[in-house]
Amino acid sequence: MQEPLQEPAHSNAQMDLDVVNMFVIAGGTLAIPILAFVASFLLWPSALIKIYYWYWRRALGMQVRYVYHEDYQFCYSFRGRPGNKPSLLMLHGFSAHKDMWLSVVKFLPKNLHLVCVDMPGHEGTTRSSLDDLSIDGQAKRIHQFVEVLKLNKKPFHLVGTSMGGHVAGVYAAYYPSDICSLSLVCPAGLQYSTDNQFVQRLKELQEPEAVQKIPLIPSTPEEMGEMLQLCSYVRFKVPQQILQGLVDVRIPHNNFYRKLFLEIINEKSRYCLHQNMDKIKVPTLIIWGKQDQVLDVSGADILAKSIDHCQVELLENCGHSVVMERPRKTAKLITDFLASVHSTGNKKLD
């Protein structure tokens, strides 16, 4: 039996934690009567979560669109139009979706062209039993999306976190002419000399029935709470109704998440970034939380030693859910990095 991947991709909690962190604000800002809000919170928390994302997209000017490669549908959100500055394509992590980037989008300059796509099988993008869900297969799917959108008409900046970071790094190696620079936020796909506690726990899940116990695929409010604690340095006191709502929106997809998880931890995918990182030739920004319990922060040093033009930023008091825990800092690091790499004369991105 194959060993589990040392570093699977887990940005799912970033999206869930963002909901938790902003839920009180949603209560005051959503344009619904207070009684309806309370009823939704108590009776249909999953519906309220969907309304929250709809509201937040609208407030930030993000529009949702669909494009097709043959009969394969891609769902994405965008803001702005291609211009003199590089466009940004943002790839989310395992079991998340395009809206996990909203907390970062809030702090990005409005004159940037942003594109956030649902990864293969997630949210509005096609889910097919015939799809190749390996990291290699996902990188090729994203390239199809880029081609259909003609995003590579001019080299763009690629951003990815966790599983999305794994795919982004491999994409940069496979399609170097498509991109001008790269940001990897605690990416998966690296081979470490020693296992952290989380990976050791995964290796204990060797029996077939253990696939039901993957810590990143919660099925109960209690398991959801445990996952949030695993992925975040900040400790939240989360109401039971919110935990239930977060679980409710995920349960219909859990079988797919299990299939995807097993695919990205198999021998073909587990170290795909590690095997291709020396082929990354564009300027690269690495962002990692120092207290990441899922993917060890030492991965930043592994990448820095293999990528020539590499800038590393390690964030104090931050776990795996960098995008949720430090959205303002993440946006500033990306913006400053783009300005330093792509500025012309005295023109800046901010």
Position with higher pLDDT, 154 vs 48: 154
Instruction: Report pTM.
Output: 0.87
Q: How confident is the model at residue 24 (pLDDT cuts 50, 70, 90)?
A: very low
- Whether 29 is covered by a domain: the verdict is no
DSSP labels for 231-278? H-SSPP---HHHHHHHHHHHGGGHHHHHHHHHHHTSTTTTTHHHHHGG
Q: What is the CATH number of the domain that holds 120?
A: 3.40.50.1820
- Whether 31 is covered by a domain: the verdict is no
- Whether 14 is covered by a domain: the verdict is no
- Whether 85 is covered by a domain: the verdict is yes
- Whether 103 is covered by a domain: the verdict is yes
Q: Show the domain range for 226.
A: 61-347
- Whether 262 is covered by a domain: the verdict is yes
Number of domains in the chain: 1
* 128-156 pLDDT tens trace: 999 999 999 999 999 999 999 999 999 99
The pLDDT of residue 9 is above 50:
no
Residue with tokens 């800046």: 348
Pairing state between β 88-91 and 156-161:
parallel
- Whether 213 is covered by a domain: the verdict is yes
Mean pLDDT of 308-321: 97
Q: How confident is the model at residue 208 (pLDDT cuts 50, 70, 90)?
A: low
pLDDT number for residue 236: 75
Looking at the annotation, which residues are catalytic?
162, 292, 320
Measured distance CA(326)–CA(341) in Å, rounded: 22
Tokens of residue 31, six digits = 């344009």
**What proportion of the chain, given as a percentage, has pLDDT over 70?**
83
* 55-77 pLDDT tens trace: 999 999 999 999 999 999 999 99
pLDDT number for residue 350: 38
- Whether 181 is covered by a domain: the verdict is yes
Q: How confident is the model at residue 12 (pLDDT cuts 50, 70, 90)?
A: low
Q: What does the mean pLDDT of the chain come to?
A: 87
pLDDT number for residue 204: 74
Position with higher pLDDT, 214 vs 349: 214
